[in-house]
Structure 1
């Protein structure tokens, strides 16, 4: 997020004349996103939010803004079967399972991109 904050600040400095000649710009930066979005909650509770004509999110999900919920998903996986050997990987019955596990890991991002 530090890069997005720096980019917003630099953009405001570079567009200073246009901002002053127009309706202005408000740069809202909140903290505490890892601890329950404390900064955003405090800002909303203070009722000092200006009217917003446009909004830019600094860290969109998969480079596309989506509605989501912060959280964690912890999984435990157990497999049974004959493990493949380094010499003959195709012999192991677990090879199929391992390939599917790789698909699961990366398919989340593929699905996020399909939302567009």
Structure 2
């Protein structure tokens, strides 16, 4: 496995494309992934703030079961969609950077022969 694939797998979608000088694809994948990730983080902080407010007002007891019940009742459709988008973009980025790097490796080895 080369550096570009490892970057795409372990760092962020699109980072391997930048290493391979495929800037438009890399930035596009990064933007989509960043938007999905920001939606996830925003929703998590929003839920946490709601739970803290309810605990401080006395509506909910500060125990694990009560908090778990509140989390299970929350609407998760947006979170699921954002997670799905993030995973799909990440997989597309990994597969595409692998494809591009193999193509570049074949071209490089053909030129050296």
TM-score, normalised relative to structure 2: 0.27
**Structure showing greater relative contact order (alpha-carbon pairs closer than 8 Å, 6 or more residues apart):** 2
Greater helix fraction, Structure 1 or Structure 2: 2
TM-score, normalised relative to structure 1: 0.26
Higher alpha-carbon Rg? 1
